[in-house]
Every structure is written in C-alpha cells, then in structure tokens.
C-alpha cells in the first residue's frame, strides 16, 4: 500500500515537480489546489512524465469543511507538503490582508487536520526571504531571521513561528521547514515548468520571454551594488533538485530518522551567481542573445544572498546536482515548448 501524501498547491511550479518525484519514489501524492495561480493542465504533464495520473481535488485550503472532508475521505494521509500560498512579493505589499488571511488560515487548517487525523510528517515550503539581507554569506540555518521586507516574506516568518510553537507544545506529527533559495528551470521533458501569470516578476521567466522576443528588453535592476560586477547575487537552484529534497525530508520523518519535532534546512546550491553572470551563462548555453539594459534598483531587493547547504547535504543526504547551464537550458526549452503550444 503506497503512502498517501497530500500536496497542497500541487499544480504550482515547485508543487508539480515535487508530485513527479513523489511518484518516482513510490508515494501516492494527492494534489489539492484552488487553481488561483496555476492550471489543471499541469496534471496532464505529470501523467506524461510518470505514466500515472495523480488524484487532484480542486479546493481552497482556507475552506476547512472541504479540507476536513478530504482528510475523512482519504483516511490515512501519512504526510503533507504544504506549498499552497500567495507568493508575489509586490502584490503582497498592495494586498497585505489577502496574504495574511490566505497564507496563514490555510496553514492553521492543515495543522489542525494533520493533528486530528494522525498525519506523521509535515513539510513546509519556506523561503530564504526570512534571512533578509544576511550579515554573512553563505547564510546558515542558524542565521538570525530579519524583519521581513514584505507581507509575503512576513507570512513565511509567521508560519515558521506557528509551526515551531505547535511543535514545542506537542503535536502528533514531525515538521521540516525547507528554506528555498531561488528555484528556476523546468523538467527536462518540458512537460511541466514555470507558468507565470501576466508580466513575470521573477528574473528567469522574464529573461526567457525576452530571449523569445515576447518582451522587448530585460531590465537589470541595478549594477551599483557592492558585488564583483555590481549586479545582485542569488543562489539559483534547479527545480527538480529542489523537488527531490522534499522526498528526502518526507522520508526522514516517515522513517522516524529524526528524534526532534522540528528541523530547518536551506535548499540551494551553495553558490552565488549575479544577474549579469546569469544572463551571460544563458547566452552561452543557448546561443540566444538577451537584449538587456541596466536600470535603477528595485525597491526591497537584497544585495546578495546564497545558502550554506552542508546541513541538507549531511542530514538529508541531498545535494543539488544540476549545473546552472543545464538549468538555464531547461528553462529555455520550456519557453520554446510554450511557444510551440501557442501558450506564450
């Protein structure tokens, strides 16, 4: 009997790639999503990759009666991976109440039901954004959490505190917080990838759309930072590598390998890459030019942040293996597929 894993936000970018890896690892993922920022077509893509169509239930995690009914219907849900949340930094500044309600009420609902129905492992999708501008890079899990620069980032910090307090008080499940750095790329089959709504806020989708000619020019937000080439530095991690880390985290809890109720792991490559370096790498590996210009800094941008990943390497037995070049190639091949399908 395959262990059932509830994947909230499972039709999203990281969620869908994680569903694939859960199936590959012999789990039975059940996708829950309200499709507010994704499409059910993603399920077709997952089925094309693994040959198995995951169960999909369209519902909002803020809808407690519907969520409870799902737990009742499914019976023994061994683990939950909680991706479902609003995640646009800029939008969160304009609509803070939507972000606090959506991101926190959904979490509280999930936590209550896991406790009530005997779930054993809880993986929470957190973000390096909790570190703000680190004092030292690479930033370790013991670095101080800094005041959030946006309501979105604050919901991640508050969520971590809620999970921590519940773990200390004693709940029936173990929790692992995964702090992602910058997830990029697409599945090598190009059957799933990042589907941004409207004008992309994040660098890679905007870059590939510019390379495709959909956008006229990529604006590089500042080259006057205290970095080697003046542009911001981030830790760009391949989305498939990131997805595999979720399976490792789940395994650790379901096999009772940790005797602590809560653990935190950075998920990155351990290497910082600047915006200009990334553009140059993309052009090298694809042979496609990316028209770009330097403009002013973007409000709220961190100057440089990349992760220390020793803990995940040693404790989870996980390491990011895809190169930046191959990852950028996968993003480009995904963009070409979207064009081929007339979606972009």
Active site residue ranges: 152
CB of 166 to ligand WQD, least distance (A): 23
Residue nearest to ligand WQD (CB): 232
Judged by beta carbon, residue 264 or residue 275, the one nearer ligand WQD is 275
CB of 210 to ligand WQD, least distance (A): 9
CB of 106 to ligand WQD, least distance (A): 15
* C-alpha span between 81 and 25 (Å, rounded): 15
Judged by beta carbon, residue 27 or residue 160, the one nearer ligand WQD is 160
CB of 202 to ligand WQD, least distance (A): 3
Q: Cα-flanking dihedrals φ and ψ of residue 65, to 5°? A: -55, -40
CB of 292 to ligand WQD, least distance (A): 8
DSSP-derived secondary structure for 124-190: EEEEGGGG-S-SSSSBPTTSPP---SSHHHHHHHHHHHHHHHHHHH--SSEEEEEEE-EEE---TTS
CA angle 274, 280, 286 (to 5 degrees): 130
* C-alpha span between 147 and 167 (Å, rounded): 23
Spell out the residues 6+ positions from residue 291 whose beta carbon is closer than 8 angstroms to its own: 210, 216, 217, 218
Q: Is 112 exposed, middle or buried (0-12, 13-18, 19+ CB in 10 A)?
A: middle
Judged by beta carbon, residue 120 or residue 156, the one nearer ligand WQD is 156
Judged by beta carbon, residue 151 or residue 171, the one nearer ligand WQD is 151
Judged by beta carbon, residue 37 or residue 109, the one nearer ligand WQD is 37
Whether residue 233 contacts residue 272, with contact meaning beta carbons closer than 8 Å, is answered with yes
Which residues sit at the interface with ligand WQD, rule CB under 6 A? 87, 89, 127, 129, 182, 201-203, 206, 218-221, 232, 234, 275, 298, 301
Q: Is 75 exposed, middle or buried (0-12, 13-18, 19+ CB in 10 A)?
A: exposed
């Amino acid at each position: 009997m395959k262990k059932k894993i509830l994947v909230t936000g499972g039709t999203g970018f990281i969620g869908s790639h994680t569903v694939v890896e859960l199936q590959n690892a012999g789990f039975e993922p059940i996708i829950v999503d309200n499709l507010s920022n994704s499409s059910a077509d993603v399920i077709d893509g997952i089925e094309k990759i693994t040959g198995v169509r995951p169960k999909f239930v369209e519902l909002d995690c803020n809808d407690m009666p519907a969520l409870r009914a799902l737990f009742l219907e499914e019976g023994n849900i061994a683990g939950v991976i909680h991706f479902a949340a609003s995640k646009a930094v800029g939008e969160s500044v304009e609509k803070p109440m939507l972000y606090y309600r959506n991101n926190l009420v959904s979490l509280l609902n999930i936590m209550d039901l896991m406790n009530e129905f005997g779930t054993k492992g809880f993986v929470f999708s957190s973000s390096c954004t909790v570190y703000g501008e680190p004092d030292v890079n690479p930033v370790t899990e013991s670095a101080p959490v800094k005041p959030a620069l946006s309501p979105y980032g604050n919901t991640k910090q508050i969520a971590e505190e809620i999970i921590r307090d519940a773990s200390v008080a004693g709940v029936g499940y173990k929790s692992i917080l995964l702090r992602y750095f910058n997830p990029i790329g697409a599945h090598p089959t190009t059957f799933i990838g990042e589907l941004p709504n409207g004008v992309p806020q994040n660098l890679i989708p905007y870059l590939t759309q510019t390379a495709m000619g959909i956008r006229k020019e990529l604006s590089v937000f500042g080259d006057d930072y205290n970095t080697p080439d003046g542009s911001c530095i981030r830790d760009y991690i391949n989305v498939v590598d990131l997805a595999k880390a979720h399976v490792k985290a789940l395994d650790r809890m379901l096999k009772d390998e940790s005797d602590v109720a809560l653990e935190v792991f950075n998920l990155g490559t351990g290497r910082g890459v600047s915006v200009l370096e990334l553009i140059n790498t993309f052009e090298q590996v694809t042979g496609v030019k990316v028209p770009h210009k330097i403009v002013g800094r973007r409000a709220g941008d961190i100057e440089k942040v990349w992760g220390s990943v020793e803990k995940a390497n040693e404790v989870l037995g996980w390491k990011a293996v895809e190169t930046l070049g191959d990852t950028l190639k996968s993003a480009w091949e995904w963009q070409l597929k979207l064009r081929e399908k007339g979606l972009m």
